[in-house]
Amino acid sequence: MARLTINGSLVDLDIEDDTPLLWALRDHAGLTGTKYGCGVAQCGACTVHVDGVAMRSCVVPVGSIEETEEIVTIEGLGQGAPHPVQQAWAELDVAQCGYCQAGMLMAASALLAQNPTPSDEDIRAEITNICRCGTYGRVLAGIKLAAERMATPSDQG
Amino acid sequence: MTATARLSRRGFIGSAAAAGAFSFGFSFPLATPGLAQSFETPEVNAWVVVSRDETVTIRIARAEMGQGSLTGLAQLVAEELDCDWERVTFELVKPSENARRDGVWRSMATGGSQAIRGSHNYVRAGGAAARKMLVNAAAAGWGVPAGECTVALGVITHGPSGQSTTYGAVAEAANAETPPEDVTLKDPADWTIAGQPKLRLDTADKLDGSLVYGMDFTMPDMLVAVPKACPVHGGRLVSFEAEAVQGMPGVRRVLRVDDETVAVVADTFWRAKTAMDALPIEWDAGENAAVSSETIAASLTEGLRAETPYIGNQAGDAPAALSDAEQVFEAEYSFPFLNHAPMEPIAATVRWTTDRCEMWGPTQVAESALRTLAQTAGLPTEACEVHVMRIGGSFGRRLMTDYIAMATRIAMQLPGTPVKMMWTREEDMLQGRFHPVTRCSLRGAIDEAGDLQALHMRISGQSISYSLNPEGVTANGDGSVFQGLEPDGDQFRLGYNPPNLLIDYAMRNTHIRPGWWRGVNLNQNALYLECFIEEMARATGQDPLAFRRKLLANSPKHLAVLEAAAQGIGWNGPAQEGRHRGLAQVMGFGSYVAAAAEVSLQDGWLQIHRIVAATDPGHVVNPQQIDAQVAGSFVYGLSALLYGECTVADGRIQQENFDTYNVLRLDEMPEVEVITVPSGGFWGGVGEPTIAVGAPAVLNAVSAALGRPVRHLPLVNADLRPAAAGEAG
Ligand code: FES
Ligand code: FES
């Protein structure tokens, strides 16, 4: 049994404590936007925010999360209005197959929350998610565009 | 009035749900089978539906797995249709529908970079025919000659009378018009939608988590199956102790799938996987347990010297010229097994009953997926349905339908219950259909003038056709092993023509199951030859570009892309201190491609600073999608060059996840520059050819930096310290 705060709602899930958060989200909370890519913290497809910090949910047991900790998934990112990274991704046509992109967007938004003006080197060092389609160049451009937008919110248009 | 289509690109978040009704392309279990169920108007023709709100839905028969051809194909239809691109959306075709309508959408197979180059004529004709029918319907309504009407952005105007109407208003009447017998296609020079850098049509639901991939699909009462097959391909499942896991949470069944596979069926993936990890299983690996990377290498090496009847390209008398020559260079290269490793592992949901079988899941070959489903289910194809989905990357893996048969065999043991079969990443890595393993010996004779007088290239290794398509193996062997080395052809053609040439092949198969891996045999063939060419140039003190210029004198398109890439990297000027450059070119999948790379070596590893690609695909349908495909091709090809290798020990693949099968990530992503030089008159693919030049261009740059050639992949195994002695192989 786990009680979690997911995208602002408190939910009770009837699951074993050692179930990874990824599978709690996908199989029990019905939130399949968070993806399974490796299960061993290598690829980042499963990235979510826990209290604003990017976590690889495939290796986080639900038993280790307090109900007061705020979990945000891709479904909860940009609720109401698109997050600047989602907007930038749409404008730059970043996604190819899209399977890694929920994780990319969660990693990118967490990075910008901590470092609003990341350099290319910061982005290269911090975004370690795997994209087999090879969207890395546009991911980098997307983060920079989103950072610009966030710095000058009035220019969002 | 046009909110849906507009939103799909402008205010993407709000649009996702609205777009979803059209764009998921599969019907939910209780919905009536068939197309266009969500439209109040009938189709204009098989390719085009226009609803009263002016939304133009374009039907797409080829699979979309990230390569972007969905959007390119829609652009080609929309171009001839003269509709408003801002109102275009799409719908995926089901193979059963294609069969019921006598193949009106032609081939649905999506491989070999064929999606656009293999269908541009008939999809454009489909758009042009729909336009004609819409105009005829409007003209008939007005009682005027259709020839007096013009169309712009989906608005039909009769100039003389000043009347106008819209596609949406006449779409229903257009359906009753007789389809035209022939249509004239536009000159690409006049295109306004095709040829433009349009954004993808299928982005919105990838950014908010709402796109349902095969892994994500769910339906009422569905169970999840996690299979495990004998890790040694061809081995047998002897027994398993179901009792040991039957009481674990969520577990419903433990079952034998086939001779080599067991599956745990549970209510969720994690519970099924947990039980599978705990399940005692006895395998009989059989004689393949004795096979290792070393025994495979020995067999391939033997093939390099053996007699063989399989000849792919021949001119003059290369063996004689080589034995007479004064200056002969020799080298031996190898290319390892590689896994496709798409980000979405294998998954498919099947529901079977005694009279019906349906599959919800991804495939690159919808029609053979339907056949596989029906054959395995023991039902006629008419009783089966494949609900196609967009795919989370595939790169050739889902050209094979093994997983569909497996999912069906599982579902057949739970009649009436939908079962989603999900492979773990580990299973996906072990049970892949691997890029074939080959080795190559090359011998070249250079005369005093520095010209290549003779070349013998012997490839030894695995045939994909032998395993997957036995009828493709003829008296000449598996012709596809010569991709890129053929004397002529409009798909693959060797640009070099030395006076004496012999390219032959010794088939040496292994028990590791091969598959078509993005770029297929062009990958290793281009690497072998382009690296050897550059080795010979450097060894004889010739500039690698100048050396190739002589060899490509009769291949102007090959040379043109090479020149463009070389110019892009600044070949004629010096590189920065410590940086080194390499080139590669090839013609494959109908396009001419070249790459130029600039690297430096530091602390025994390389940094790829820049890589420039030049592509001549004949015609360009969407330049920004070509950029994306070229950049993606570099990532795919360079992942293989730097890290990719699946090794074999005790008969089984050793790499089970990304921790041991590393791939390129953002920190190593070079700056990519894409040059597109369409020369017109032909249609080439772009999803694959560039992969084949990325690796040799970088490898040539590395060899230049080291002052000695590196001939075996991946680089992570090579000693890249400049002072190191003796790496040559
Ligand atoms: S699925 Fe969690 S990091 Fe890959
Ligand atoms: S977009 Fe396909 S894996 Fe990243």
The model's pLDDT over A73-125, given as tens digits with 9 standing for 90+, comes to: 999 998 889 999 999 999 999 999 999 999 999 999 999 999 999 999 999 99
Interchain pair B218, A32: CB under 8 A: yes
Residues 6+ apart with CB under 8 A from B552: B495, B496, B558, B559, B562, B585
**Is-contact B151 B136, C-beta < 8 A?**
no
Q: Which helix (H) or strand (E) holds A94?
A: none
Q: Find chain A residues with C-beta within 8 A of B628's C-beta.
A: 93, 96, 135, 138
- Which candidate in B343, B608, B641, B656 is best for mutational testing of the A interface (most A CBs within 10 A)? B343
Q: What pLDDT does B723 receive?
A: 63
How many whole angstroms separate alpha carbon B299 and alpha carbon B305? Answer: 11
Using omega within 30 degrees of 0 as the cis cutoff, is the peptide bond preceding B714 cis?
yes
Angstrom distance (rounded) from CA B464 to CA B484: 16
Which has the closest alpha carbon to B121: B182, B48, B189, B44?
B182
Domain spanning A84-151: CATH superfamily: [2Fe-2S]-binding domain (1.10.150.120)
Q: B206 to chain A: which residues are within 8 Å by CB?
A: 95, 98, 101
The response to whether residue A104 sits with its C-beta less than 6 Å from ligand 1 reads: no
What pLDDT does residue B289 have? 98
Q: Which residues of B touch A135 (CB under 8 A)?
A: 628, 631-632
Categorise residue B195: left if φ over 0, alpha if ψ from -120 to 50, beta otherwise: left
Pairing verdict, β B580-588 and B236-240: unpaired
Residue B110 CA to ligand 1 centre (angstroms):
28
Give the pLDDT of residue A79. Answer: 84
What's residue B14's pLDDT? 32
Identify which of B723, B704, B716 has the alpha carbon closest to the alpha carbon of residue B599: B704
The average pLDDT across A29-54 equals: 98
- Is residue A44 within 6 Å of ligand 1 at its C-beta? yes
Using a CB-CB distance cutoff of 8 angstroms, which residues of chain B are in contact with residue A96?
Answer: 66-68, 393, 628, 632
Count of CB contacts below 8 A, A vs B? 184
- Which residue, among A101, A138, A96, A91, has the nearest Cα to B198 in the 3D structure? A91
Nearest CA owner, ligand 2 atom 4: A131
Q: Which residue among A23, A34, A46 is best mutated to probe the pocket of ligand 1, counting the most ligand atoms within 8 A of its Cβ? A: A46
Partner-chain residue, chosen from B199, B209, B211, that has the shortest CB–CB distance to A73? B209
CA distance linking residue B275 with residue B264, whole number of Å: 7
> Strands B452-461 and B500-507: what pairing?
parallel
CATH number of the B3-196 domain: 3.30.365.10
pLDDT at B234: 96
Helices and strands (DSSP H and E) totals, chain A:
5, 5
Burial class (CB in 10 A: 0-12, 13-18, 19+), A50: buried
**Closest chain A residue to the Cα of B340, Cα to Cα:** A132
Test B209 with A102 for CB contact under 8 angstroms.
Answer: yes
Q: How is the beta sheet containing A70-72 ordered, strand by strand?
A: A9-13, A2-6, A70-72, A47-50, A53-56
Interface pTM, i.e. ipTM:
0.97
Q: What is the pLDDT of residue B472?
A: 82
pLDDT at A80: 84
Helix then strand then coil, in percent of chain A rounded to 5, is 45, 15, 45
Cα–Cα distance, B669 to B280 (Å, whole number): 43
- Chunked into runs of 10 residues, chain B (729 residues) has average pLDDT values of 30 33 31 40 93 96 95 98 98 95 95 90 97 98 98 97 97 96 95 98 97 98 98 98 98 98 98 98 98 98 96 97 98 98 98 98 97 98 97 97 98 98 98 98 98 98 93 82 96 97 97 97 98 98 98 98 98 97 98 98 95 97 96 97 98 98 97 96 95 98 97 96 55
Q: Separation of A42 CA from ligand 1 center, angstroms?
A: 6
Q: Residue B331: what pLDDT? A: 98
Closest chain B CA to residue A87: B12
Encoded tokens for B125 = 């004709």
Q: Which of A96, A124, A134 sits opposite B68 (nearest CB)?
A: A96
**Is the minimum distance from the CB of A46 to ligand 1 under 6 angstroms?**
yes
Q: What is the pTM of this model?
A: 0.94
Quick one: which of B357, B411, B351, B417 has its CA closest to B385? B357
Which runs of consecutive H residues, i.e. helices, occur in B94-147?
95-100, 120-142
| Nearest ligand by distance to the CA of B341 | 2
- Give the start-to-end residue ranges of the domains of chain A: 2-72, 84-151
State the fold for domain B293-337+434-722.
Aldehyde Oxidoreductase; domain 4 (3.30.365)
Judge whether B50 and B134 are in contact, CB under 8 Å. yes
Instruction: Report the nearest-CA residue for atom 2 of ligand 2.
Output: A97
CA nearest to A135, candidates B525, B663, B488: B663
Q: What pLDDT is recorded for position B23?
A: 30
Has domain A2-72 been given CATH number 3.40.50.2300? no
Same CATH topology for B223-286+346-422 and B293-337+434-722: the answer is yes
**B600 three-state secondary structure:** strand
B462-496 b/e (C-beta count within 10 Å ≥ 16 → b) = bbbbbbbeeeebeeebbbbbbbbbbeeeebbbbbb
How many C-alpha atoms does B548 have within 13 Å on its Cβ side? 27
Output the CA–CA distances (angstroms, integers) from residue B546 to B530, B550, B572, B598, in the order listed.
14, 7, 11, 18
B207 chain-A contacts, CB cut-off 8 A: 82, 86, 89-90, 95, 98, 101, 105
Residues with CB under 6 A from ligand 2: A 95-101, 131-133, 135; B 66, 343, 393
Token pair of A79, please? 């609720």
Query: Which ligand gives the minimal distance to the CA of A94?
Result: 2
Please list every residue in chain B whose beta carbon sits closer than 8 Å to the beta carbon of residue A34: 209
Contact between residue A132 and residue B425 where contact means Cβ atoms under 8 Å apart:
no
Measured CA to CA, the distance from residue B357 to residue B422 in angstroms comes to 18
Question: Which ligand number lies closest to the CA of residue B200?
Answer: 2
> Facing residues of B606 across strands?
B601
What chain A residue is nearest to B667 in terms of C-alpha separation? Answer: A124
Ligand nearest to the CA of A100: 2
Domain B223-286+346-422 has CATH 3.40.50.300: no
In this structure, what token pair is assigned to residue B602? 């530091």
Instruction: Give the one of A27, A105, A130 whose C-beta lies nearest to B665's C-beta.
Output: A130
Q: What is the pLDDT of residue B143?
A: 97
Residue of B nearest to A126 (CA): B667
Question: Ligand 1 centroid vs B98 CA: distance in angstroms?
Answer: 38
The amino acid at residue B257 is V
When CB atoms are compared, the residue of A27, A34, A132 closest to B342 is: A132
Burial B549-567 (b: 16+ CB within 10 A, else e): eebbeebebbbbbbbbbbe
